[in-house]
Amino acid sequence: MERILEPELMDEENQARAYSEADFSEPHNMFVDEFRQTFPEQKIGGHVLDLGCGPADVTVRFAKAFPESKIEAIDGAEAMLQYGQQRIEHERLTDQITLIHEILPATTRLRQQYDVIISNSLLHHLADPATLWDTIRHKCADNGSVFIMDLMRPASQQQAKQFVELYASNEPEVLQRDFFYSLLAAHRPNEVGTQLEKAGLDWLSVKALTDRHLVIFGQRAVCT
């Protein structure tokens, strides 16, 4: 099945509310756990960039797991950021997390470089995946770590429907709809590998994590 694009921004009020209220504890805790396992000996502090943070659920979980980090989280959907700000204030993390309304490839409001770059479920929204890879190439500091988790495209639309039934049958209709179309818009590991090679990011690796998730990860070498 070929990739079928979906809208890059999720800025509808009902979408933002549904995503903010949904229970994503399993995949979002998995994001943090996999990050720990990928970089087990690394002390995570300094400046972290979260690309495509949505309502900041992963951002908050990451901040709690790594309290010495200082996180700037960006998203292009203002409705998502409004719910994200509410979550951050509720968790009393306003000193640790700053939300920024920015639509890639624009990065005018960001720092020059970051010690850690994370992203969850942004890649499949981008019409041109190079938008993400270019940002990482320019914003990841020497010796910086990158960890990205995203959906992985199934073999067919029928399998995508099965995944919706299996994993999202109890969710609101808007989430079931978005999950289906996000699966159709997602990439496969071999496709991501080709993208990384083209972008000159040979220090990043990609692997399938679950039947519907893949991860891209690595640590940038110090330039000499």
Give the Cα separation of 159 and 89 in Å (integer).
39
User: Residue 159 pLDDT more than 60?
Assistant: yes
Q: Which domains does the chain have, with CATH numbers?
A: 13-37+44-219 (3.40.50.150)
Determine how many CB atoms are found less than 10 A away from the CB of residue 152.
22
Q: What is the pLDDT of residue 223?
A: 54
Give the Cα separation of 218 and 193 in Å (integer).
13
pLDDT tens, residue by residue, 92-138: 999 999 999 999 999 999 999 999 999 999 999 999 999 999 999 99
Query: Is residue 55 a contact partner of residue 87, using CB atoms and an 8 Å limit?
Result: yes
Mean local confidence (pLDDT), 68-79: 96
Under DSSP, the state recorded for 89 is H
The pTM (predicted TM-score) of the whole model is: 0.95
Give the Cα separation of 171 and 177 in Å (integer).
10
Residues 6+ apart with CB under 8 A from 174: 14, 15, 18
User: Residue 65 pLDDT more than 50?
Assistant: yes
Q: Token pair 């988790």 is at which residue? A: 149
pLDDT tens, residue by residue, 139-155: 999 999 999 999 999 99
Q: What is the pLDDT of residue 117?
A: 98
Helix, strand, coil share (%) of the chain residues, nearest 5: 40, 20, 35
User: Residue 224 pLDDT more than 60?
Assistant: no
**pLDDT more than 90, % of the chain:** 86
